[in-house]
Amino acid sequence: MPQKAVFYHAGCSVCVDAEQRFAHALNPSAYKVEIVHLGQSPERIAEAAASGVKSVPAFVVDGQPYHINFGAALADLGGGA
């Protein structure tokens, strides 16, 4: 059964690139990927922060954050945090 992975992004160019490169390229037998745009869903910023996400784009898998390059700091996204 695939594990859940959440890909947090904010629509920035670094984010979109990482989404295309990785979020859509993970093996569906390994991961079921949920893509969350924190600009459009600012109420989920707190959840991302609680998982240790410091910047986007980032994956959270099994409660652990995996930051891919640097698009934007979570603290700069504002919203619900």
Q: Point out which span in 23-31, 35-43, 72-80 binds its own copies (CB under 8 A).
A: 23-31
35-39's contacts with Cβ under 8 Å and 24+ in sequence apart are: 35/6, 35/7, 35/9, 36/6, 36/7, 36/8, 36/9, 37/9, 37/10, 37/11, 38/8, 38/9, 38/10, 38/74, 38/77, 38/79, 39/10, 39/11, 39/77, 39/79
31 binds its own copies (CB under 8 A): yes
Sole binder of its own copies in the list 1, 13, 27, 63 (CB under 8 A): 27
Could you list the residues that contact its own copies (CB under 8 A)? 17-18, 21-22, 24-28, 30-31, 59, 61, 64-69
